[in-house]
Structure 1
Amino acid sequence: MAPPAPLAVKAEDPPPQGMSRAVVAGCIGNFVEQIDLGLYGFLAPVMADSFFPSGNHTLSLLSTYATFAIGILVQPLGGVFFGRIGDRVGRRAMLTLTISLMGLFTACVGILPTWDQVGVAAPVLLLLIRVVQGIVHGGEYGGALTFIIEYAPRRRRGLFMGYASMGVFGGLLVGAALSSLVSALLTEDQMSSWGWRLPFLVALPLAAGGLLLRRRVAETPAFLAAIEGDAVPEESPVMETIRRYWRPLLTFSGYAMTNAVLSFVWVTYLPQWLSDEGGLSRSAAFSSNMLSLAAYLPLLVLAGLLSDRVGRKPMLLAGCVACVVLVPLSFRLAQNGTWGWAVLAQLVYLVPEFCIAVPATASLPEMVPTRVRVTATALGFNVPFALFSGTAPLISTALVDWTGSLYSVWCYLGGLAVISFFAVLFGYRESAGKDLSGEGEPVAGTVPATVGAS
């Protein structure tokens, strides 16, 4: 008689004690990280003239977005550095380090001197902080997703990734809310001179609370089992990932690029376009985006549940099609020039977001084994997101400035969605219900029991 597969059975056991705390501990870092990214994206039009005074607001804004893009471009370095810690020392140790650094450097943005105070040193300091933040963010996201998915029951990993995504978009919502609140309470002169600093300082107490929470949570069962079974990487985790698991990383990159541009155009570029070109005030543009983010949060849980039932692949394919069909409709509605149409436009924009974000988040950690999961997940996310998300507001601003049409952004996004459709169709093998302990192969009978299970 064949021996049982103990780790596969373990994945079906009841969740360990303290699972809720573990999920919150995993999400808190993403929450703080996305507050920082959201603040920078929302406040870029205000910060631009403080760090890049050129007499040309568009040029200053492009310079600010370029700094934002550079901070994201270095994220793969964080995946390499922090991924090694996560795969060799442990997920918990890595995550306590990243959340401490994130809170510290986000708060540093709020106390930076401006061009008028220190001249060219101001944008240099901003760039240095963004680079360090990018490296830290590059380790945090992959580690947090690994931490949560290794705690999740096999039949509900999509649901748990929905919770992880709530941390991401919840952070963006808080960033939008803080930006909107400060903009509403202060005059334009106050906002430009010192008001934009206040929201960045909020990250410090949030990170401190997250650090205390993470220190009280145990290491993941999957990593402990890997240590007991001596299943840690024998070589550099990044080298093993590239040598043995380049196919799932390449496939994931093929559809993650659409997810990256889709998300960052929505949360960073579209509010700026609505206020600069769409006829809305800055506060109205922020509030319309904030409302659509709030509407999206409960849908993330539904998307996770649906991906557990029907599988990741059908939802990813539907999301690519929705990008091509519904994004131009969303842009058409946004050009009507009122707050109500702006909200409706962003709700339409949510349809492809709903289909893509959570299934994509769940798919990559499921395609790689425990011993290199932090490194592989960090690299898999950071490379396409570094290339496409950080540059999304910059490219969008340049395209609209060049063509004079918001539809040029749709042409860019639609082209990526077509490529992603074929990457999913021909390259992605359904990962819902697969055993996390092995080489990404499904345990016999798990996929039929998971996809479509009641």
Structure 2
Amino acid sequence: MGNALEWYDWGIYAIFVPYIATRFFDNSDQLSALLSALAVFAVGFLARPFGGWLFGLISDRWGRRNAMTLSVAGAAGGTVLIGLSPAYDAIGAGASVVLLLARLVQGVAHGGELPSAQTYISEVAPDRHRGLWSSLIYFSGTIGLITGTALGAVLTTALTDQQMSAWGWRIPFLLGGVVGLYALVMRRRMEESAAFRRLTAQTSTADREPMGRAILRSRRQALQVIGMTIGLTVAFYAWGTAATQFAISSRGVPPSGALWAGVAAQVVFIAALPLWGALSDRIGRKPVALISIVGLAVAGFPLNALLDNSPWRLFVAMSLAMVLMAASASIMPAMFAELFPTRIRTVGVAVPYSSAVALFGGTAPYLQAWLETFSGPWFTGYVSLLLVVSAVTLVSMPETRGTPLR
């Protein structure tokens, strides 16, 4: 539930960003308001490295459960703040400040959410089936995305554009707060992972190697996390989050049709995740990841060319891209967890991962909007270039299938 909430939060912001732009910024210049809203989206990403360090430290020092409980509380609080904030017409620039603060809180919380959650699921999974179990991370996250996208489709179908602009856009954020409260209660009842319990039983916090020194010794693994993340996070943003809004604004697809096409493609993604995860437990992590990265780099241009004003074409393009994306998404939690020892597993992943997501994922929507002002598929080329970096990184990584966690 907590992992789904994180993806839901980021998804609904991307989906409802046209309404957010008009409510939180001066709408006399619509392009400027939209770019401002996208810039705040990027600021939320920039807070992730600090959140990754903070919650990674909490997770590796005081337990996965404590980190995951605090992260979901912060995520829910930021979501409710956006949903309840007065608009620009009421309090002027104060609305923009509230939005910025809410996104910073969410960014810090979300910076620790995914690393803590994937560390937990990797540590409780059997060694022989860790690839399959790790697919639950993106499975649950995509449930959050589907919920947000489906809610957007329902609201844009049931409400007029005036109603959506006035109050309809607030509904998803307020519902997110309710989900966050439920997830908070659930996480307080979780059991700590056996791997962390063994670590605390063997050494006290004071007797462990200083975390900074341990991370420095794992700097090669940290660079590998960055290299793998930069291509895949932008590719996932392009096809898993922004494709529907891009199709609406740049290809003339009707909003309701585009959103329902997005929901259907995400269902395909969910169905593919456990299949790829189980395959990686049989043939290895690297072959499955290579299929994903190379496939996305090669297919990007023809899939982009497939898009026109048809929701069906959008569904086909998104589905093909998301099947390829599922191959790497299903196993990244396992691959990253298998690179680091238990004492720095969360922070070792969190800091490089969050930094890469902040720098490349956070700037992706702004770059996409800016590059669309030029003729040609420049953003698709940018995505393919970053995927080449991820492919080169993958070659340098060890095969970790079935490896017991250290």
TM-score interval w.r.t. the shorter chain?
over 0.9
Cα distance in 1 for partners of 2:389, 2:57 equals 31
Offset of residue 143 of structure 1: 0.8
Is the 1:269–1:396 contact (alpha carbons within 8 Å) kept by the matching residues of 2? no
SS at structure 1 position matched to 2:402: coil
Tell me if 1:434 matches 2:406: no
Partner of 1:417: 387
**Aligned equivalents of 1:313 and 1:117: distance in 2?**
54
State the shift of 1:41 in Å.
0.7
Match of 2:401, SS state, is coil
* Structure 1 counterpart of 2:327: 355
TM-aligned CA deviation for residue 354 of structure 1 = 2.1
* C-alpha deviation, 1:235, in angstroms: 5.1
Contact 1:45 / 1:272 at 8 angstroms: preserved in 2? no
Give per-residue Cα distances to partners, 1:323-342, cap 9 Å, x unaligned: 2211111111112x211111
1:166 to 139, 143, 150: 139
Contact 2:239 2:322 in 1 (8 A): no
Q: Are residues 1:249 and 2:222 paired? A: yes
Matched, 1:109 2:79: no
1:362-373 superposed matches below 5 A: 362-373=334-345
Of residues 4, 10, 13, the one that matches 1:40 is 13
Letter in 2 for 1:360: M
Q: Is 1:123 aligned to residue 92 of structure 2?
A: no
- Closer, same or farther: CA 377–298 of 1 in aligned 2, 3 Å: same
For the residues of structure 2 that align with 1:79 and 1:240, how far apart are their CA atoms?
Answer: 17
User: Corresponding residue for 1:292?
Assistant: 265
**8 Å contact kept, 1:65–1:393:** yes
Per-residue CA shift, 1:380-416, capped at 9, x if unaligned?
A: 3211111111111111111111x133x2111101111
Aligned match of 2:107: 134
Letter in 2 for 1:424: L
RMSD of Structure 2 on Structure 1 (CA): 1.5
Q: After superposition, give the CA deviation of every residue in 1:152-192 in whole Å (9 maximum; x if it has no partner).
A: 00011111111111111111111111111111111000101
8 Å contact kept, 1:103–1:207: yes
Alignment of 1:222-371 (within 5 A): 222-230=195-203, 232=205, 234=208, 236-237=210-211, 239-335=212-308, 337-371=309-343
Cα deviation for residue 105 of structure 1 reads 1.7
Q: Deviation of residue 271 (structure 1)?
A: 1.4
Matched, 1:193 2:166: yes
Look up the equivalent residue of 2:223 and give its one-letter code.
Answer: L
Aligned to 2:360: 388
Provide the residue aligned with 2:50 in structure 1: 77
TM-score if structure 1 supplies the norm length?
0.86
Kindly provide the amino acid, as one letter, of the partner of residue 242 in structure 1.
I
TM-score using structure 2 length: 0.96
Whether the aligned pair in 2 keeps the contact of 1:115 and 1:122 (CA below 8 Å) is yes
Identical pairs, percent = 34
In the other structure, the counterpart of 1:442 is none
Cα separation, 2, equivalents of 1:94 and 1:359: 22
Question: What is the alpha-carbon distance in structure 1 between the residues aligned to residue 120 and residue 136 of structure 2?
Answer: 12
> 1:113, CA displacement in angstroms?
1.2
CA contact (8 A) 1:38 1:267 kept: no
The DSSP-based 3-state class of the residue aligned with 2:16 is helix
| Structure 1 unaligned residues grouped into runs of 5+ | 1-27, 438-454
What is the alpha-carbon distance in structure 2 between the residues aligned to residue 55 and residue 428 of structure 1?
A: 51
Q: Which residue does 2:193 correspond to in 1?
A: 220
Q: Secondary structure at the match of 1:331?
A: helix
Partners of 2:232 and 2:293 within 8 A in 1: no
User: Do the aligned residues in 2 keep the contact of 1:84 with 1:236 (CA within 8 Å)?
Assistant: no
Secondary structure of 2:251's counterpart equals coil
The Cα shift of 1:236 comes to 4.7
Q: Go from structure 1 to structure 2 and tell me whether the alpha carbon gap of 1:113 and 1:267 turns closer, same or farther (over 3 Å shift).
A: farther
How far 1:128 moved relative to its partner?
0.9
CA-to-aligned-CA distance 1:93-116 (integer Å, 9 cap, x gap): 121122122212211110111111
Compute the displacement of 1:422 (Å): 1.1
Match of 2:117 in 1: 144
Q: Displacement, 1:431?
A: 1.6
Deviations 1:270-319 (A, max 9, x none): 21111112111222211111110111112111111111111111122222
371, 387, 390: which one aligns with 1:399? 371
Match of 1:376 in 2: 348
Structure 2 CA distance for aligned equivalents of residues 313 and 95 of structure 1: 29
| In 2: Cα distance, 1:208 partner to 1:252 partner | 32
Query: Larger radius of gyration, structure 1 or 2?
Result: 1
Deviations 1:334-381 (A, max 9, x none): 12x211111111112124302221222221111000011111121132
Aligned length: 405
Alpha-carbon distance in structure 1 between the residues aligned to 2:270 and 2:302:
22
SS at match of 1:168: helix
Q: Report if aligned partners of 2:215, 2:344 keep a CA contact under 8 Å in 1.
A: no
Kindly provide the CA deviation profile for residues 428-449 of structure 1, in whole angstroms up to 9, marking residues without a partner as x.
1112222212xxxxxxxxxxxx
Q: 1:45 to 1:109 in 2, by over 3 A?
A: same
